Amino acid sequence: MRCIINRRAQFSASHRYWLPELSEAENGRLFGRCAQAPGHGHNYVLFVSMEGELDEYGMVLNLSDVKHTIQREVTSQLDFSYLNDTWPEFQQTLPTTENMARVIWQRLAPHLPLVRIQLFEHPELWAEYEGNAMEAYLTISTHFSAAHRLALPHLTLEQNSEIYGKCARVNGHGHNYHLEVTVKGEIDPRTGMIADLGAVQKAIDDYVVEPMDHTFLNKDVPYFEKVVPTAENIAVYIRDVLRQPIQELGAQLHKVKLIESPNNSAEVYCTPLDPPESVAHYSARMLVQA
């Protein structure tokens, strides 16, 4: 029987996004405040995922051995370091979150049966790498607050209440939505980026957060005049409005996860070949956590 196990580790380090072949002004335009000297730091959280067969003791690997391997190969070298100068890989390709995940994979792969490296720069930004050349994933987390009512216009209040329960009440109710947007792309061999992080954040703000924050979705967002704003349908809508802007930035929208409450979330995936789909069609590919 095969099983995936995960080990958590952490380290603190600083870095700077700066290319010596560019002028100060060019670095500033490319990297923003991340180009400022002498750099800035983060408390990184690392998750190492490994896969293997269960042995006679009920383990994939001895976690004590895993801990010491991660410490020896990664955290003892990176903790309290200036990343740009610590590993030669970061002199060739800048230590962005996505490139760090890739290089950590390379450092650990000879020692552990890896399936995924996940590196959190902070709780609202993390990268994942799965061993596929220069391909990586970057997730930005944000939030907005909105109200909605779950009801089909052609049904009575009683009928809607049978389907949606209290969510069908006529004056609606609200949520503090937590949104995670994951983009996918090739790590640039010099900048270490799969996309301009500031531009991705701006696209999310411009197309999702600002138009939806502090609204009554059924009335303020035209799409939801005819589509019931369930968490699932909201996730589909966000996917549809973000796909093109993200593609124009040179990346691919990979996943949208919408957390409506601690007990309820929905996530939808996207590929560049997906045609525009109706909510009903897409629901067959929806992952919903209740």
Tell me: do 127 and 138 sit in the same domain.
no
Structure tokens belonging to residue 15: 């870095």
What are the catalytic residues?
Answer: 167, 214, 260
**Total domains, the chain:** 2
The domain boundary, picked from 100, 131, 162, lies at: 131
Which of 90, 113, 131 is at the close of a domain? 131
Q: Are both 17 and 123 inside the same structural domain?
A: yes
Residues 127 and 145 in one domain: no
State the pLDDT confidence band at 285, using cuts at 50, 70 and 90. Answer: very low
Do 140 and 119 share a structural domain? no
* pLDDT band at residue 56 using 50, 70 and 90 as cut-offs: confident
Q: Is the dihedral of CA 264, 146, 252, 123 positive or negative?
A: negative
Average the pLDDT over 105-124 and give the result. 97
Q: Cα–Cα distance between 234 and 223 in angstroms, integer? A: 10
What's the confidence (pLDDT) of residue 272?
60
Residue 206: domain span: 134-290
Residues 35 and 177 reside in one and the same domain: no
Residues 101 and 160 both lie in one domain: no
* pTM given for the model: 0.89
Residue 267 backbone zone (phi > 0: left; psi -120 to 50: alpha; other: beta) = beta
Last residue of one domain, picked from the residues 74, 109, 131: 131
Which of 282, 209, 273 minimizes the C-alpha distance to 247? 273
Do both 104 and 204 map to the same domain? no
Tell me the pLDDT band of 89, cut-offs 50, 70 and 90: very high
Beta strands in 80-172 (DSSP E): 81-82, 114-122, 125-129, 135-148
